[in-house]
Structure 1
Amino acid sequence: MSSNDIAITVQGVSKRFELYDKPSDRLKQFILPRLNRLTGKPPRDYFREFWALKDVSFDVRRGEAFAIVGRNGSGKSTLLQIITGTLSPTTGLVNTNGRVAALLELGSGFNPEFTGKENVFLNGALLGFSREEIEQKYDAIVGFADIGQHIDQPVKSYSSGMVVRLAIAVQTQVEPDILIVDEALAVGDALFQKRCYRQIEKLLNNGTTLLFVSHDQEIVRTLTQRAVFLNAGNAQKCGDTSDVLFAYREFLQQQEEAAFLDLQQRSQTILKAHSPQKSYGSREVEIQKVEVFDGRGSPQSVFYAGDEITLAVECVCNVDIDNLNVAFRIVSKEGIKVTTWGTLNEDMVRFESAPETAFWSRKFAKGDRFTVRFSGRCTLGANLYEVQAVVAREHDQYYGNQQVLHWVDDAGHFTVILKNKEYVFDGVCDLELRSELNVRVQHAEAQST
């Protein structure tokens, strides 16, 4: 791949911050080491080192949508600031090819004393546009921001949502070569977020490179092709978005599991090594296999929309246990979570009328094997689907305090096709809303006729 195909290069980037216990230590660090060197004494540091980034490297191709994921404090925002040039790396190299527009901190680049209109021209100038060029784009910017007469009011009078609207409008309507977004869209309302994502997709189709940070894994999966997972400043994994998100989810699960065990004052747990089958959990109950059957009980991988389908989840208990929930998730090939369902969903209806019949109330002994079968009519749209399965211990009679015992990705796959002359619909699924004709005859017109 030639250098002209690369929009962003991050090579061996590390960033060190100096942490001081008290303000006087900062003054000592400024003065005393210099005096020590003059007098021939070994200098002493009055700070503690904190490495926000450690030897991070990756490339982003032109026109590519690339995500950075990780927990708060993992180094994502620091890395974005280095890429945009507002922060210098301690070691390493960053190179960007093209005009960069960044949405980092709320209201960054805005003068609160200026009106919205004045800030539009100010931001345009910072991005390298002339006043004439911004005037050509002004109506589109104001229309996208949709803040009405407030455009002529000082930005300091804006709500946080209005500031984000204006900032996003400027950065996206000027059609940058590289667009960097750091959680800015989380502040906007749902309707505005949808408009922003449509605009981002339009920019991507026009060749803009996107560097995207979000905690919303479904948006990351839908919007980006590749990603890097940061943890404590280290690049844990870099590659296809689906693989990176799995590694991230597995990491989060391990963190949650550790916290849960600590709360329960449990001193020991058996955690198996990462499985190549993409599974994780404490495995007090394990999923042995997941099978997909048709209406006759035969294994099947291709269904017509409208066919009967059964998902069978076979488990084995490694300890005496109760309060279980066996569930599945169906994900489309685009990574969209289509639906989830589990035994707890059905149990919540039973708890008041017949709690003894609930699956959650059943006690299992060590060595018990059981299979849960989910059956129904397949109303999914034509697509390829992945089945993910989970067995969890639910400490409440609703989804609120869950301990994942075993989660399996890629547990099964199936394809749905349509009978083009019998049963056709478009989209994710058929909601099975059907028409009914109700004709009302006008009596006066009928009599005159």
Structure 2
Amino acid sequence: MCQHPGRTSVSLISFQGVSKSYPIYQRPSDRLKELLFLNRRRFHEDFWALRDISFEINRGETFCIVGENGSGKSTLLQIVAGILAPTTGTAQVSGRVSALLELGSGFNPEFSGKDNVYLNAAILGFNRTAVDRIYRQIEEFAEIGDFIHQPVKTYSSGMVVRLAFAVAIHVEPEILIVDEALAVGDIYFRQRCLRKVHEMRNRGVTILFVSHSAGDVKALGDRTMWLDHGRIRALGETDKVVAQYLAAMVEKDSAYLELKAPAPDGGGPQVEAPEVVTTIPNIDHRYGDERAEILGIAVMDRYGQRLPLLRPGEVCVVRISVRAREPIGMPNVGFMLRNHLGVDFAGTNTRREGFELPPMRAGDVYTVDFHLMIPELYPSEFSFSPAIADGTLVSYHMCDWIDNAVTLQMGHSDNPIYGYIHLPCKVELNGRLAATATQEQAEARLA
């Protein structure tokens, strides 16, 4: 992993055995009873939002946190921001913290946007002269117009986020905390915010980022922590942790959905594909219920030769061989294409393409060929992640998924690629304009 400017081994955030509990009362009167007994008797149960959390974040590092709602992410961020204190353990934070937490947190709804800017900056230690120097930048970044002079209670949720983010990034933080607040913003502003986060990351600002968007986490995170019911389920490289988290969510969703399709009977001869791929070049992570398995994957040209390079405009065949270990009533074979950042770029499967595979008996082997026209993509590495599932596009059980089984380099196009992909495009001069131009040319020749 490349070393970003400003990143050092100096720890700015350190959690050692941190736990946080909240008292849960069955009835409102129980709280009063506990006070009357001077807390010598308990009338509540403890709910542990965090349990034995230990980690360190170095200066200049982008540290991401993923997890389901209620897993303790927001509680952890509030401890980092100094809003909450841990019940047990120690939490040490060094440096100026700017936090973008719950929608509108830190804003007085009766004050105007401008007043709240000065108030928030003052809390962080800025005097009025210092705020005067950055106020114009905050106002321009927020882009809420004359509403900056109106009470915050009149703002829409998107306007609150715009102002809150503008303040958070312009108060020169050493630690920036972002907790899913950007989810309520419009696409235009969200992209501006993410670009700003990238800029701050490159300047060496320590960033603590919480998001349900796996793509954003993969694009930003140096390391990622997965919280599950208040405990650390995984902590390490972003790609691996996100893959484990997504796999668990797929398995949980599969368990929730009940499949109604009848399983095939066990009679009849086994099916064996005429051409079977038995090589899997790489396995970063693998998961599924193992009722069926990926035997191999290959990316070939139309003549069956394995491709060393993806060339824009050429046809390739993604060949995937699978075997059923148990009856599979509604087999669905597909793949996901990812870019060099690990972001899901495109994908498809047999059901998505309207091709319904017959049910599989235990021992059946199918080979599926996906014929693709390689689009003009920016030159980078792209990986193929094959999968087989049992069910429909909406309700399914994942049988086998392999992360990044094949990685190939995208070749250079004859012309530049603006952005990520060049869309096939036909250009013509508007008919009326073309007729006018032709008439003018004819008149010019006659003159």
Verify the 8 A CA contact 1:338 1:428 in the aligned structure 2: no
* Residue 434 of structure 1, CA deviation: 4.8
In structure 2, the partner of 1:38 is none
* Residue 3 of structure 1, CA deviation: 8.9
Verify the 8 A CA contact 1:67 1:224 in the aligned structure 2: yes
Provide the aligned C-alpha RMSD in A.
2.5
TM-score by length of structure 1 reads 0.86
- The answer to which structure has the higher helix fraction is 1
- Aligned counterpart in structure 2 of residue 344 of structure 1, from 325, 342, 351: 351
In structure 2, the partner of 1:18 is 23
* Superposed CA offset, 1:308-364 (max 9, x none): 3221111112333333321111101112222111112220xxxxxxxxxx425x233
Sort the Cα spacing of 1:329 and 1:276 in 2 relative to 1 into closer, same or farther, 3 A. Answer: closer
SS of alignment partner, residue 344 of structure 1: coil
* Residue 424 of structure 1, CA deviation: 5.1
TM-score by length of structure 2 reads 0.86
* Residue 28 of structure 1, CA deviation: 2.5
- Aligned counterpart in structure 1 of residue 333 of structure 2, from 307, 326, 337: 326
* Residue 230 of structure 1, CA deviation: 0.4
In structure 1, the partner of 2:420 is 428
Verify the 8 A CA contact 2:72 2:227 in the aligned structure 1: yes
In structure 2, the partner of 1:370 is 366
Unaligned runs of 5+ in 1: 35-42, 267-274, 348-357
- Aligned counterpart in structure 2 of residue 175 of structure 1, from 168, 172, 175: 172
Q: In the aligned structure 1, how far is the partner of 2:65 from the partner of 2:284?
A: 24
* Superposed CA offset, 1:371-404 (max 9, x none): 0011223223311111111212333xxx333332
- Aligned counterpart in structure 2 of residue 85 of structure 1, from 67, 82, 87: 82
Structure 1: which amino acid aligns with 2:33? K
**Is 1:292–2:290 an aligned residue pair?**
no
SS of alignment partner, residue 407 of structure 2: strand
In structure 2, the partner of 1:446 is 444
**Is 1:154–2:159 an aligned residue pair?**
no
Structure 2: which amino acid aligns with 1:24? S
Unaligned runs of 5+ in 2: 1-6, 263-281
Structure 2: which amino acid aligns with 1:403? H
* Residue 55 of structure 1, CA deviation: 1.0
In structure 2, the partner of 1:402 is 396
* Residue 448 of structure 1, CA deviation: 5.9
* Superposed CA offset, 1:21-64 (max 9, x none): 11222222233365xxxxxxxx5422212111111111111111
In structure 1, the partner of 2:105 is 108
Verify the 8 A CA contact 2:254 2:396 in the aligned structure 1: no
* Superposed CA offset, 1:239-260 (max 9, x none): 1111110111122123223222
**Is 1:247–2:244 an aligned residue pair?**
yes
Q: In the aligned structure 1, how far is the partner of 2:289 from the partner of 2:386?
A: 15
Superposed, which structure 2 residues align to 1:44-443 within 5 Å?
Answer: 44-261=41-258, 278-347=285-354, 358-360=355-357, 362-379=358-375, 380-395=377-392, 399-418=393-412, 422=414, 425=417, 427-436=419-428, 440-441=437-438, 442-443=440-441
* Superposed CA offset, 1:270-291 (max 9, x none): xxxxx97522222332222112
| Count of residues in correspondence between the two structures | 415
In structure 2, the partner of 1:269 is none
Q: In the aligned structure 1, how far is the partner of 2:121 from the partner of 2:202?
A: 23
Identity of aligned residues (%): 40
Verify the 8 A CA contact 1:305 1:382 in the aligned structure 2: no
Structure 2: which amino acid aligns with 1:48? E
